[in-house]
Structure 1
C-alpha cells in the first residue's frame, strides 16, 4: 500500500489528506520534510529552531487540512508556508531583542525607524530588481522560472537545456545577488530573500 502512495503525485496526496487519509499525509511529510528543513536552515542557521518550525508547519497542515485552498502547485504552497513561518521567526526575534519595547517607549523614534526601514527596503528592492535586470538573458529566464516554484527538471525541459546548466545559471544568479546585496543588513536581506 505504501508503494502506491510513493508513486502518487503531490496533488493526489493532498486531496487524499484532505479526506482524512493519514498515509497520504505521512507521504507528504516524508517527501518534503528534508527539503523544507534545508531551505529553512539556510535562513535560520539554527538546527533546533529549523526542526521546530518545520514540524509545526506539518502539524498545522494536518490540522487545517479541511480548509486548504485548491492546490495546483502543492510544493509552492509548502514553500510559501515555510517562508511565512521564517519571517514570523525573524520578527519575533527582533521583538525579543527589545526592539518593540524601545519603539513603544519612543513613539517619535518609531516613526523615524519606520521611515528608515521603508527607505532601506525600497533601496534593497531597487538594487534587487536592477541586479536581476543585468543578468544574462538565459540566466535571468532560469532564475525567474525558479522563483515561480518551478523545479530544475521542469526548467530544463521547458528551455531545452541540461539540468546542470539550469543549476549553473541559478548559482550565478544567487552569487551575483549576494555580492550586490552584501551591504544591507543580514535580517533585511533574509526577509527580502523570502519575500522574493
Structure 2
C-alpha cells in the first residue's frame, strides 16, 4: 500500500470518528481533482461545483459508514462520476451539458513564461479538448491527477487494457497534433524551456 493510500485511509477513519480537521484536509486534497472530473462531464460550471460540494456534504453526513470503503480514492472519483451521469440522464437536452472545453490547470511558478509559452498551453488545451470523451478523461485522470491505470479502470468501469490503449492513443494523438505547432515531435526532442519541459511530462 502506497503512502498516499495509507494517508487517505487514515483520513477516512478519522472522519468516521467525527474529526472535522480530517474532513477539512480531505477536502483540500480532493476538492479540486473531483471538481475537475465533474467538469469533464458537466458543461455548466455551477452544476459541477454543486455536485462536488454535495458529495462532500453527503460524505460527512454518512461518515459512520466510511469504514466499509476499501479504496477511498477510487470511491470518491466513482461517486463524482456517478453523480454527473445521474444529472445527465435527468436532463432532456443531454448534449447541452457535455463539457466541450475541459480546463487544463496551468503549471504554477512560471512568472516569465512569455507569450510563446502561453500559446503552447492554449494549444494543448484545445488538443486535449478535441480528444474523444473517454480518452480525454483517462488522459486527465492519469496525467493530471496522477492516478494509476488500475484505479482509472475501476472509476471508468472498463478494463486496465482499455485504459492503457486509450492513454496510448491520447498521447500519440496529442504528440502528433502538437508537432504541427512545435515544428518537431515532442517525443523525439527536448526543448530547453519551462513550458516545453512541462509539456514533455505528458508524453513520458
Name the larger-Rg structure: 1
TM-score normalised by the chain length of structure 1: 0.48
| Richer in helix (by share) | 1
TM-score normalised by the chain length of structure 2: 0.46
